Structure 1
Amino acid sequence: MINLALPYPPTINSYWRSARVGKGVKVYISDKGQQFRVDTMVAVLRAKANKKLTTRLSVEVHLHAADKRKRDIDNVLKSLLDALGHAGVYIDDSQIDQLTVLRKGNVKGGQCQVFITECAHD
């Protein structure tokens, strides 16, 4: 099992940005999203969890918001799962067969706990 303590992930609304480039639009990861990726990479390396898992996975996420503002818990999942893949925990988030997300009590500054296990094959 991989057990990680991460900062609270940015919402998908603040993770992606876009800018006009000529006649097109360039979509990129925001500064806030880039910082979350760096913070995730540091936590993954400290936990020696950069295993590049190739199996089917089960992921449980415990979200601890920084305050009592109203939040949609699904709004942070894409940035979290992409950052874990970018950090080398697994090859791609398409490997996840089971995803459980729980809203937990508030923590100063916010926090996200992630538990990753390999799925038993049918």
Structure 2
Amino acid sequence: MLISAEGRTYRQEAVAAAVIGYRFGASKVRVSIEAWLPDNRRRDVDNLLKAPLDALCHAGIYEDDSQIVELSIRRAGLDKANPRLEITLEAA
């Protein structure tokens, strides 16, 4: 699959942020995501999932998306100065 330059940059930043994180190996994982959005534009929150989950896998946090046994995402609010995804992972 071809990943855009913007996608490659996102992946590199996610890997750098995850370097000091816990590694789950082949264990089952629960993932919870809080989305802090930059504005009130209409968005489908399910479209926010693919890139960060793939980046976590690429960073070696877990081996494969199939390890995810529970996944939740919610709109946490607006943060124009610092839009972000806050991701919590737990062993299942």
* Fold shared, TM-score > 0.5 on shorter chain: yes
Report the TM-score when normalising by structure 2: 0.92
Q: How many residues align?
A: 91
C-alpha RMSD over aligned residues:
1.2
- The residue aligned with 2:71 is 99
- The residue aligned with 2:14 is 40
Uncovered stretches (5+) of structure 1, i.e. residues with no partner: 1-26
CA gap 1:88/1:97 in 2 versus in 1, 3 angstroms: same
- The residue aligned with 1:62 is 34
Greater relative CO, 1 or 2 (CA 8 Å, sep 6+):
2
What is the identity percentage for the equivalent residue pairs of Structure 1 and Structure 2? 33
Kindly provide the amino acid, as one letter, of the partner of residue 111 in structure 1. R
Question: 1:39, 1:69 → 2: CA distance?
Answer: 25
- The residue aligned with 1:113 is 86
Q: Deviation of residue 50 (structure 1)? A: 5.5
Question: 2:34, 2:26 → 1: CA distance?
Answer: 23
Structure index of larger Rg: 1
